[in-house]
Each structure stands twice: as structure tokens, then as C-alpha cells.
A = this chain, B = another copy of it.
Amino acid sequence: MENNLLPFLPMLYVAWSDAILDGPELEALSQKMQDQTWLSPPDKQVLAHWMDPDRPPAPGQMQLWLKTIRESAAELDEAPRQSLAELGVQIASIGLTNGERCLSPESCVALEQVEEALGIVSAEAVQSLIADEVRPLRPLLEREAPSFNIDAMQAILDRDNPDVKNGTRTILTEQIFAQRDFESLHDHREATLAWSRHLADHGLGSLAYPESVGGKDDMGAYLAVMEMIAHHDMSLLIKFGVQFGLFGGSIALLGTDPHHQKYLRDTGTLALPGCFAMTELGHGSNVRDLETVAVYDKVTQEFVIHTPSEQARKEYIGNSAAHGQMATVFAQLDIEGERYGINAFLVPIRDKENTVLPGVRIQDNGHKLGLNGVDNGRLWFEHVRIPRENMLNRFADVTPDGEYVSDIAGESKRFFTMIGTLVGGRVGIGLSANSAAKNGLTIAIRYANRRRQFGPPGEMETLLIDYQTHQKRLMPLLANAYALDFGLKYLTERYVNRTEADSREVETLAAGLKSYSTWNATRTLQEGREACGGMGYMVRNRFAALKADSEIFTTFEGDNTVLMQLVAKGRLTDFKKQFEDSAAWGMVKFVAKQATRSILEHNPVSVRRTDPDHLRDSQWHLELFHHREEAMVVAVSQRLRSLIRQGMSSDKAVVEVQNDLVAMAHGWVEFVILQQFLKGVDEMEQSAEKEILAKLAQLFALSHIEKNAAWYLEHGDLSGAKSIAVRREAEALAKELSGQALYLVDAFGIRDETLAAPIGLRG
């Protein structure tokens, strides 16, 4: 900006900031500015442009002004409190010899007269302009030097896609993404759409699509982008995910080449905004029983999409209330009265002018607890006709004369194959939830290294991070975030490289890690908010949005409790298979017995050892996790078998042991995460990073052993004294790690512009 215009900056910002001035008032103000005799003609031209009532400045422009003002004000010893003009003059005078001012006293008076034309209470305006703590109030206190290289650690976390991650991080610092407050639901949604378009313009929307339609065929890169967006804004994440992941993904994975050629390019550029219309009011988790029908009309070779009841309306459909023009609709296929199960169909819902098409009814879901940048809505179809070609026919098709054809024989297998391909959404949510958790940890841990409270009389108050309760609250969650990072990378890799042979296993993994990660994020953000006290309650410190937006992660893309039962089912199937494969019953009994034998029987010494070397031994940790998981599978299987033998239906029996199933699924997920974390660390060459990662793995293990201590004690795997020793060792480890916590969150690589919480900035 021209230096001559700097004195106007505070007034310019205030004039536009709250839409307090109407057209004529803006014109009057602009005229006053033009009257300033000390301005050059080009300066006046720029000013006139900025004050044009018909062309308000873009939000990005406004943010830039604000940033300039605040950064400049921070450089002043004491920013003036009474007038915007004086603030402007002082900002413009920065860098001049001490005491010198950029304007003559006469010009200053003239400038003050401009401010009068603005007609607002200047002192208040100055306050809200500069005093809103965009900069952290207190410096971070580094209690000890980093024991490892932060960049090297970030490189470890970024190892899957370093360039995509850094590229996305940089894009997200562009001015367009700086706005965080919205006047209305409408503004929030439009901004979120504009952001999504911006990301699409950068080519990020089509990364996972085939190269033939402008994509890069790189699902891993696409997921890395989601992981980064989640650090910034979760409305954007979901809008982006619905458009490119769910809608585009359904075309890519359930459709065939003609669909790809016809729709995917426009989907990737957001020329064709779309929805993923699966969930129905009466059928949230139970997709297989949803009621929308697609009746094939042989005469016209069309499908007739219809909502037969109120329970069958499509519900919470993202991108539908305002922007979607097409929807992938999941419906029961009906050919001449015969039902052929759930299939997916592309149904236009709005025309290019965004007018809702005949037969389609859309209602806005309205305000939600969070994610209000996403336009969720309800959809009803009243005998809407679509051409036969709009059926996504990768797994099944209907011939022109109404024959249902599929390479997959059973309806059940077909359904699960179809649903299974869509598991990418769960991978993305798992990754995103961990990003949200990392944001919360970064804010809370930095705040804990700034904030002091209470302490010995006469001394400086104690830093929050030095309190044992604070360490217990945050350090195990920091370990979880690191552990999950390894677990989720393993899932991503398995997902990206999945084959038909291991697809069920990948689904189990995705269900388990999505649940663990989203529950962990909810808990981390709750603890993080509480750890920041009243500061955590202020919207500008970001917990409000982080908590509210991520709240639904435990529900959508599969309700966690339902998913954990899916995991349990997967594990029981594996166990049964082991049984089928082994020739003799006796063998099974032996395996089962081995699993349920306590560690005590295996190794009576290890149950009692309480020395730190042993307590931190990762082989012991892994053995304990593994043993528990196996023993739980065996125990639940035996309970189920016994209930069924007593004459209970298997459905009833499953409900009867449901809590055990969920506990068993938790045990398995925890085992997988620890296993992958340890494997990752083992494979690294010796380094300071490896060393501290190993400590994080120890804390992850010990805090989970502590959480599950009752089970281990019940089964004789821990003595009472050892259980207490585990708790003490976890405490000691948490204390050890607390001095490095600041650097461990730095390594998450969240830019200050993205984190945006004043109390949590690196500064």
C-alpha cells in the first residue's frame, strides 16, 4: 500500500467493517477524503476506488487491512486510544526518526475532520480494532531446549505426502481463507462454496480421479489434502469431502467409464455440484433397509425415483439445501414388482440456474450444532424419471429390457461390496478427526506454557504445564495423537492399496480407526477446552468451532457404536475361520485355552515386575495388548455359543453380549494402533526423533494399560502392586514428556494463520 494512504487505513476498515454506513454516507465520507489537499491525484484515485459504495472490498482485502493495522499497532509503544485518524498517522509514521510524524499538524486536523464524517464513537472503534488480542498476550516459556529436531519430526509425520501437505498448508494461508465470522448462515455457506472452488481451482478436488478426466489417480494425496483442510476449517472439509469424495467418489467407484467421462471432470472443477443421498430419516445407520425406490420402466427405459413415505425422505444431505445440482441417490431397485436391493442412481435435482427440478422437493435442515458452512437438507422425490444410463452400474446393471445383471451373485455380497468401496469417507474422517485433536493439543499445550496460576508464596506463579494434573490431562492425549498418526497412515496405505482379497479387513480397520479417532478427538477437544479455562470459552480461541464442527464425526460416516459392532463381527469371523481351517476341534480348544491363559501362567515373573525398565518395555506392552484382545475374542465367542446352545436366536444373543463386543473391538483397535506405532518406530534409524517417539509409544501403552487395568487385574495379568506401578510410571513419563510437549506440537506443522487462536499461536 502507498505510504500516503496508510493514515486512512483504520477509517477505511471501520467504514466497511460492520456495514454501518449506507451508500450516501460512504459517498460523503469519500468526498471528505478527496478534499485532503496533501494527497496526490493517484492516491485520490485509489481511495475513491476503495470507497466506491457499489464495489465493497473483498473479505480478503478487509483482512489484509486489519492485519496491517494490528501488526503496525503492535509496533507502537502505546497505540493511541481515542482516534482512528491518530492511529493511522502513527502507523504511517513508523520508521520515521523518533518523534517525527508523516503529516503536518494542519494535515492531521484535516484528517480528523474526515473521521468526523465517519460519525462513529472513535474510541470504541479503536479499541475493537487493535485490542482484540490477535497476538498472544504472553510469550511462550521454553522450559528446556528441544531434545530433537522439530523439522525432522514434522518430516516424519509428513512422510506420506510431504509436498501435497505443505502445498495445501500454504494455499490455506491465502487471504480468501482468513475470514472466520459470518453474518448469516447464507454468508457462511457461500464462503464455504467459494473456498471449495478455490481449492478446486488449485486442482485439489480431482486428485483421486482417473487421469483421463483430469485427475491424478492419487487417493493418498486426496486424503492428505483432507487431513490438512481439517486443521483449518471443518465446514470446508465436509463441503469439500461431500463434493469430491462422496459425490465424486460414488461416480468414480460405483460408476463405469461412461459416467466418469460424462461427469467427473465437472465434478472435480465444481462445475457440477453434487450430493450423496444415502441416509434416510428412518434409516440412518441401517442403509440396507432404506425405502426410496427406483422402479424400472421398460417402456421408456427409465428409472422412476420415488420417496414412498415420510420416513424415506433423504435426511442431512450435504450440499443439497443450497448448491447441489445432482445427487447420487441410493434406492431399492424394483423391476416389475421384483426387488433387487440397494443400487445407486444419478438424479438431477436442480438446473444450471439452480432452480429445483420438477418432482424434487428440498427442505433446508437449517441451523446445526456445527458445520454451518455446509448446506444440509432433506430430499423427497415424486416419481422422478431418469434415463437408464444414470444407474451407477459397476457392480450391477439393468438391461434395456429390464433384466438385472451382475457379476456378484448374492444380493448381500453385492450390497457389502458396493458399500465397501465407499469406505474412503471413513478413512478421511479418521484422519481429519486427528487433525482436529492436534489443533486442540497445540492450543492447550502452548497455553499451558504461557499461563501461570498459583504457586509458592514469594515466587513466580507456577506454569500450568508444571502441574501434575495438567500433565495427566494432556500428555496421554498427545501420545494418542502421535500413535493415531501411525495407525491412520497404516489404514490409509491399506485402503489405497486394497484388493478384493483384503477389502473386508480394510473395512474393519477403517471402522475401528474412524471410531477410535473421532471419540479421541471429542475427548481431546473437551479436555483441551477445560485446560484453557475461560480463555478456551472465547470463540476467537477456536475451541467453539473445533468442538462443534467435529461433534458429529462420532455419528456420521457410520455411528461409532454401530461401527464398533462391525469391527467385533469382523474379528469373530476371523476367529471362526481359524476354527474352520483347523482340522480338529481339539486344536481350537487348545488355541482358545492358550489365549485365555493369563500372562501369569505364561510368565509368573512378569506379572509382578515393577522396575521402570520392564514397565517401559514395548514388547511387554504389545504382548499385553495382544493377549487381552485374543482373550476377549475367545470369551465372547464362548458366551455367544453358549447362549445360542441354550436356544437363543443369534440376533438376540448378539444383543445380549453387545457391551462385550464393543469392549472387544476397542481392545483390538488399541492393539492395532500400538502395533503400528511400535513398528514405525522400530523401522527408524537411531535418532533423537526415534527416541522421543519411543517414549510417546510407552506413554500410549501405559495409559491404555491403566485404562484397562481392571480387566488385567481380573484376569491375573497384573498384580495389584504392578497396576499401581503402571500408574506411577505413566505419571513419570507424562512429566518427562511435558518439557518437550511444546516442540512435539510444533512438529504437527499447523501454521499460525490456520490455527488462528491467539492463546495458541507460536508467535
Contacts and interface: CB of A to CB of B under 8 A. Distances in A.
Contacts of A279: 534
Q: Which among A537, A548, A655, A706 has the greatest number of chain B C-beta atoms within 10 A?
A: A537
Interface string A115-148: 0000000000001100110000100000000000
Contact of A131 (B363, B472, B554): B363
Interface string A552-580: 10111001111000000000000000000
Interface string A432-469: 00000000000000000000111110000110001111
A716 B713 CA distance: 10
Contact of A368 (B467, B538, B552): B538
A462 B468 CA distance: 46
Nearest to A473: B561
A522 interface: yes
B731 A710 contact: no
A298 B415 CA distance: 87
A367 interface: yes
Interface in A708-738: 709-710, 713-716, 720-721, 723-724, 731
Given A127-B363, A456-B649, A540-B366, A533 B559 contact: yes
Contacts of A652: 456
A716 to B, nearest CB: 7
B310 A137 contact: yes
B367 A454 contact: no
A157 to B, nearest CB: 29
A315 interface: yes
Nearest to A454: B286
A351 interface: no
Given A461-B289, A713-B723, A539 B367 contact: yes
Contact of A724 (B552, B714, B716): B714
B731 A720 contact: no
Nearest to A662: B469
A16 to B, nearest CB: 18
Nearest to A556: B534
Contacts of A713: 709-710, 713-714, 720, 723
Given A310-B137, A461-B286, A659 B731 contact: yes
A555 B540 contact: no
A284 interface: yes
Contacts of A452: 282
A408 interface: no
Interface in A482-540: 522, 526, 529-530, 533-534, 536-540
A468 B127 CA distance: 56
Contacts of A637: none
Contact of A551 (B366, B367, B529): B529
A137 B309 CA distance: 12
A177 interface: no
A361, A456, A561, A562, most chain B CB atoms within 10 A: A561
A543 interface: yes
Nearest to A466: B655
A651 interface: yes
A522 B368 CA distance: 19
A371 to B, nearest CB: 8
A421 interface: no
Interface string A679-713: 00000000000000000000000000010011001
A552 B536 CA distance: 9
Instruction: Report which residue of A533, A649, A651, A658 has the largest number of chain B beta carbons within 10 angstroms of its beta carbon.
Output: A533
Interface in A311-365: 315-316, 361, 363-365
A656 interface: yes
A724 B284 CA distance: 34
A655 B467 contact: yes
A720 B715 contact: yes
Chain B CB within 10 Å — which of A369, A453, A562, A656 has the most?
A369
A606 B146 CA distance: 53
Contacts of A529: 369, 551
A479 B591 CA distance: 41
Contacts of A154: none
A544 interface: yes
B555 A468 contact: no
B651 A456 contact: yes
Contacts of A361: 127
A285 interface: yes
A547 interface: yes
A283 interface: yes
A82 to B, nearest CB: 12
A436 to B, nearest CB: 15
A17 to B, nearest CB: 14
A613 to B, nearest CB: 22
Contact of A710 (B365, B466, B537, B710): B710
A721 B281 CA distance: 44
A369 B454 contact: no
A547 B469 contact: no
Given A368-B539, A368-B544, A538-B368, A659 B714 contact: no
Contacts of A656: 468
Contacts of A461: 286, 289
Nearest to A315: B534
A453 B714 contact: no
Task: Output the residue of A461, A466, A714 with the most chain B CB within 10 A.
Answer: A714
Contacts of A731: 659
Contacts of A181: 367
A555 B533 contact: yes
A555 B554 CA distance: 25
Contact of A659 (B469, B539, B659, B715): B469
Contact of A369 (B544, B561, B649): B544
A31 to B, nearest CB: 29
B533 A522 contact: no
B539 A366 contact: yes
Given A468-B658, A469-B561, A714-B720, A453 B366 contact: no
Interface string A73-92: 00000000000000000000
A286 B453 contact: yes
Contacts of A720: 713-716
7 nearest A-B residue pairs (beta carbon):
A709-B710, A713-B713, A369-B544, A714-B720, A468-B658, A367-B539, A456-B651
15 contacts: A128-B363, A137-B281, A367-B538, A367-B544, A369-B539, A369-B547, A456-B652, A468-B656, A469-B662, A526-B526, A530-B560, A533-B555, A709-B714, A710-B710, A713-B713
Given A366-B538, A469-B658, A659-B731, 12 more contacts: A131-B363, A285-B453, A285-B454, A289-B461, A367-B540, A369-B547, A466-B655, A468-B659, A530-B560, A533-B555, A709-B714, A715-B720
